[in-house]
Amino acid sequence: MASAQPQTPSANRHQHVSRRNKNIPQHLRLTGRSLEERLRGLLSRLGSEQRRQMLSKLTQAQRQRLEQRLLAKQCEIQRKSWQGFSVAACDEGADPGMRCDRLPSARQGRSCEPCPDCRAWCLSALSVQQVAACPQCPKPRKLDTRKLLKASLVQVRGQKRKQGVCKRKFAGHISYEVLCRAGPFCLSTKWTRSREVAEQYAQVLNGIRQRVLQSDAAEEVRFREAIAEELRHTGLRAREDLSLAFVAHVGARYWVGRTLETPRFAASGADLERGLMAYRRLREARMAVFEGACNELSLLMKHSPGELSEAWQRLRVVYLDIWEQAGHSRERVARRLDCLEAKQRPRRLQAEQRWRARHAELPASRNLVWPTQVS
């Protein structure tokens, strides 16, 4: 029977929570104003199935309040992250010597899509549609995952992001490194504990990148000139101030499932020239076959397996030479290549089988000649 005493909304809520608590073990029961904090802690310790069970026992109001807290926290992390710094998702109270982990992502089993406005990820145990409770995105919406992902990407592309500043934790100290891609070259600076210094480095690297992208000269020429011009402009020294270094990449997906990179070279003096020479040699070897975006089958439409194999042998030898000349063990690098090749082999063989099947279906006139064009 209902009490004769008039109850405030909060008293009502409290009684509701208490009824729900009957289904929950004593040590997990939730009461009073510490509800969200305790829930957050508990949920982080539970497995996914237990978490689901736990959440099913909560009231709508409890769930909403919890979600608001969680989303607000996630939004904060994401906001910082998208402002340009990679912010660790670790707890503030974690061991200062611990490395920080990346935020969970789709390929690691993320089961919901990001909020398109604040890019927060809701917990997998919570309903995707509850994203509407996010304080950053007050509009309730039914989530169409495809549209949603597209919208979020547009949003991010529209934002001006400070890219390339990597934040790391070394035994309690935060350090920053700046990385920047300029065409096939990946520039990096030394580590610094100062965020301001890192931002300054990022500006320099971004300046180099812009100059590389704007120039019409040959890749190596514009890279060399961009570094020189930007350093002249800023008054910084490549080696002394930035420890500026770079690696260059060439595609080798068909053979090893990924790009090949040169060893790391200092981006100044003779080392810069050695690095550019290494890249030139790799590039020349790679240019023997088509370089554009294509899958294994498309590549086989342009070159025979024999041609591709020959091209790979040349590229491989050049790659090993470059690493050996840079002071690395040829055997060790070769072993790594072998390992990558072995991983990629089934995929390559499957493509060759598919190609043979398709090749057999083509009219005889199209079977006779291999396209030799390399663009």
- Is 147 a residue that touches DNA (CB under 7 A)? no
- Is 100 a residue that touches DNA (CB under 7 A)? yes
State the number of binding residues for DNA (CB under 7 A).
Answer: 63
Q: Maximum Cα–Cα distance for the chain, whole Å? A: 95
Q: Is the dihedral of CA 257, 259, 262, 266 positive or negative?
A: negative
Q: Which of 1, 4, 270, 293 binds DNA (CB under 7 A)?
A: 293
Kindly indicate which of the ranges 123-131, 243-251, 273-281, 362-370 contains the residues binding DNA, using the contact rule CB under 7 A. Answer: 243-251
Q: Which of 159, 287, 292, 345 binds DNA (CB under 7 A)?
A: 292
Give the DSSP letter of residue 58: S
Type and span of the H or E element at 35: helix 35-45
**Token code pair at residue 250:** 């060439």
In the block, tokens 């050049």 appear at 318
Q: Which of 252, 276, 322, 337 binds DNA (CB under 7 A)?
A: 252
- Is 305 a residue that touches DNA (CB under 7 A)? no
Determine whether 304 is exposed, middle or buried from the number of CB atoms within 10 Å of its CB (0-12, 13-18, 19+): middle
Q: Which of 54, 186, 198, 276 binds DNA (CB under 7 A)?
A: 186
Beta strands in the chain (DSSP E): 165-170, 173-182, 185-188, 245-252, 258-261, 265-266
- Is 199 a residue that touches DNA (CB under 7 A)? no
Kindly indicate which of the ranges 17-25, 26-34, 53-61, 177-185 contains the residues binding DNA, using the contact rule CB under 7 A. Answer: 177-185
Give the nearest distance from C-beta 255 to DNA in angstroms: 9
Asked whether 267 and 245 are in contact (CB, 8 A), the reply is yes
Type and span of the H or E element at 208: helix 195-214
Q: Which of 19, 161, 233, 366 binds DNA (CB under 7 A)?
A: 161
Closest by Cα among 285, 290, 292 to 316: 285
CB neighbour list of residue 155: distance below 8 Å, 6 or more residues apart? 116, 117, 119
- Is 107 a residue that touches DNA (CB under 7 A)? yes
Give the nearest distance from C-beta 32 to DNA in angstroms: 36
- Is 171 a residue that touches DNA (CB under 7 A)? yes
- Is 251 a residue that touches DNA (CB under 7 A)? yes
Query: Nearer to DNA by C-beta: 68 or 152?
Result: 152
**Contact characters 257-286, DNA, x per CB under 7 A:** -xx-x-xx----------------------
Residue 245, strand partner residues: 188, 266
Q: Which of 19, 52, 73, 99 binds DNA (CB under 7 A)?
A: 99
Closest by Cα among 230, 160, 40, 114 to 30: 40
Q: Which residues bind DNA (CB under 7 A)?
A: 81, 86-87, 97, 99-102, 105-108, 153, 156-157, 161, 163-164, 166-168, 170-173, 175, 177, 179-181, 183-184, 186, 190-191, 193, 243, 245, 247, 249-254, 258-259, 261, 263-264, 291-298, 301, 326, 328, 336, 347
